[in-house]
Structures are given as structure tokens and as C-alpha cells.
Copies of this chain bind each other. A is one copy, B any other.
Amino acid sequence: MDKKICIAIDAMGGENSPNKNIEGIKFFYNKNKDRDDFFFNIFGDENKVAPLLKHYKIPEKYFKIFHTSSVVSDEETPLTAVKTSKNSSMWNSVFSQTKSESDISLSAGNTGVLLVISRMILKTISGVSKPALAGLWPNNIGMNIVLDLGANIECDENNLVEFSEMGSALYKSLYPNDTPKVALLNIGSEEIKGTEIIKKTFNKLKEISKTGDFIFNGYIEGNKIPEGESNVIVTDGFTGNVALKTAEGTAKFITDNLKKSLSENIISKFSLVFSYFSLKKFKSRLDPRKFNGAIFLGLNGPVVKSHGSTDSIGFYHSIDLCYKIVKGNLMSQIKENLNHLDEN
């Protein structure tokens, strides 16, 4: 049998940890137990974690607990955490990747600290100038990869080109039967628009796409992201973070307004009886827990950040993402794409 996919879990990060983290593992185990090709290295307070694993009836052959004595708090700054977090569940779960004990790690803890210590522990892949944070974003056809979501607030054309290659590699590892189609986020679709950096990136991507790593669709405006004609959306971390947060805010604003309208009188409340299943399906289709998990790309090992406030279902989806990333050979896909960059 092949080597098992080994996922390091920071069991102590995020709201309602470690319960949601271990319940997330249970959901994954229940769905995948027939496959038997996965294993969890679980980092956290053994006294809390062990009883939960028992409670959720996860067989012992699927995990190993590594006791850690501290937790990175949400208030910790990256600066101090480098010194203080060495005994934490977060540090040790990432660190387990250096010893090849784990293929990937997952945490719902403090984002800033996770990015800084991951970079410190795993180091940047040779040839990558800046690692990037990539996220999943639903579109009309399937899913977009959007990067950078905030790891780098200022980026030059070389960074953006590397993001395109790494984003395409991630797309291929998650959707092996589909072709990555890169687009560069801009404020118009005409070639004359945008900053100098964006124009330079455009020309480079046109050239590099000839290697066949991805199809280059040119510029994309924010309103076209959901259409799905492109599936790897590249931008700097400032713009990407604003776009993502604005989309989240808009989605909430609209669904809140919808809820208000549909419950404001007795007739509309009555109608909910009939539309219940349709609305449930609508809600399920756009459930943010389904695309929970941002992927830190460009290090010698992938690290996934789950939303801190998500629940066990959201955490399960992040575990599933980790599993697919390793199964899809993300690391070798990235290295292959970066080699093409060297040739250019």
C-alpha cells in the first residue's frame, strides 16, 4: 500500500477548540473510512483531546496524539509569537512537516502568527520570492482559486507571475480533470488599463502561458469573478483581501435583507413552508463552510488556515481540502510549474 496521507492538526486553534477540531476529524473519518489512506497527527492538550477522540469513536489506528503545553492566543502578535510559541500546538503541528511526519498542517488559530511561523519553520521554496495565501471562491460553474488574499500587501510583476504558477498548480491538484485558466484582477478589460505592475504582469503571463501550465484569459473585473470563465484569479494581497471581504460583506447584506423580507408578515412567513427546501438548497449551495480554508503556498510544505469562527462542519471541509491537496500532489505540481518559470 502507498504511504498514507498524513495531516497535522492543530487541535487547539479557533473558537470552540478542541471540540470542533476533533468532531471535524470524525466527519472526515465517517466519510472516508473505506479508503484507509489517511492518518492524523494531532497536536494539543492530551487531557482534552484524548477523551474527545474516544467520544467521537475514532479508531486509534487513524491518529497519534502529540501533547503540547501551550496555545497561541488570538491576541498574540507574530513578533512575540516566534519566541513564545515553541511549545504550542500550532508550532508543533507545522514543525512536524520538517521531519516528514506530516504532509500538510491545518490550524484554525491566529492567522498572522500561523503565516509567520510557517514561513520560519518551512522556509520558502527556492525560486519563490513571496509565499501567498490562496482561497476558494464559488462561481457559477464550480470554484475559483483567488490569490493573494493578504499575505503580501505590495507585489511586483514577478510575485504576481509566481502566484499565477502556484495558483494553477493548486487548481490542478484540486481539480485534476480541469484546466487552470488564469486571469489578472484589474479595473477594466482593456490592455491599456491598470497600474504599470499589472501591465508588466500581463505581458509576462502572455509569454509564460505558452508553457501550457495554464490558459491565460487576460484581465478580469471584480463583477466577472463569479462567472467562472477564469478559475485562478491573481492579484496583490491588499486588493485580494479587500475583494474577498467585500464579497463576504455583500453576501451577508443580501441574505440578511432577504431573511428580513421573507419574515416580515404572516403571508410571507407562510410562503416559507413551500419554499423551505428550495431555500435550504440555495443556502447549502452557498454555505461558506464548504469553501472554508485558505492555503499558504510557496513554502516547503502546504499549510491550511481554517476560519477561526467556523464550526465542526467547516473544519471538516478544511480537512477534506488538506486531503485533496496532498492526494493531488500539490508540491510536485508547484515545483514543476516553477521550473517552467526558470526556463523563461
Interface hit among A157-165, A259-267, A318-326: A259-267
- A255-311 contacts to B (CB < 8 Å): 255-258, 260-262, 264-265, 267-268, 270-275, 277-279, 281-282, 285-286
Residues of B within 8 A of A278 (CB): 261-262, 264-265, 267-268, 271
Contacts A223-B249, A261-B278 given; indicate if A242 touches B185 (C-beta within 8 A).
Answer: yes
The answer on a CB contact under 8 Å between A241 and B187 is yes
Cβ of A344 under 8 Å from chain B? no
Residues of B within 8 A of A224 (CB): 249
Number of copies: 2
A10 to chain B, nearest CB (A): 22
Cβ of A222 under 8 Å from chain B? yes
Interface residues of A (CB under 8 A from B): 138-140, 150, 153-154, 185, 187, 194-195, 221-227, 235, 237-239, 241-258, 260-262, 264-265, 267-268, 270-275, 277-279, 281-282, 285-286
The prevalent SS among residues of A at the interface is helix
Residues of B within 8 A of A274 (CB): 267-268, 270-271, 274
A196 to chain B, nearest CB (A): 9
The answer on a CB contact under 8 Å between A238 and B282 is no
Could you tell me the distance between the alpha carbons of A250 and B243 in the complex, rounded to whole angstroms? 10
Residues of B within 8 A of A260 (CB): 282
A166 to chain B, nearest CB (A): 20
Task: List 19 A-B residue pairs with CB atoms under 8 Å apart, sorted by A's residue number.
Answer: A138-B253, A139-B253, A140-B253, A140-B256, A187-B237, A194-B238, A222-B243, A222-B246, A222-B249, A223-B252, A224-B249, A239-B239, A239-B242, A242-B243, A247-B249, A254-B254, A257-B286, A264-B278, A268-B275
The answer on a CB contact under 8 Å between A153 and B254 is no
Residues of B within 8 A of A249 (CB): 222-227, 247
Q: Given A222-B248, A264-B278, A264-B281, 15 more contacts at CB 8 Å? A: A221-B245, A222-B242, A222-B249, A225-B246, A226-B249, A239-B242, A246-B250, A247-B250, A251-B254, A262-B275, A262-B279, A265-B278, A271-B271, A271-B273, A271-B278
Could you tell me the distance between the alpha carbons of A182 and B27 in the complex, rounded to whole angstroms? 45
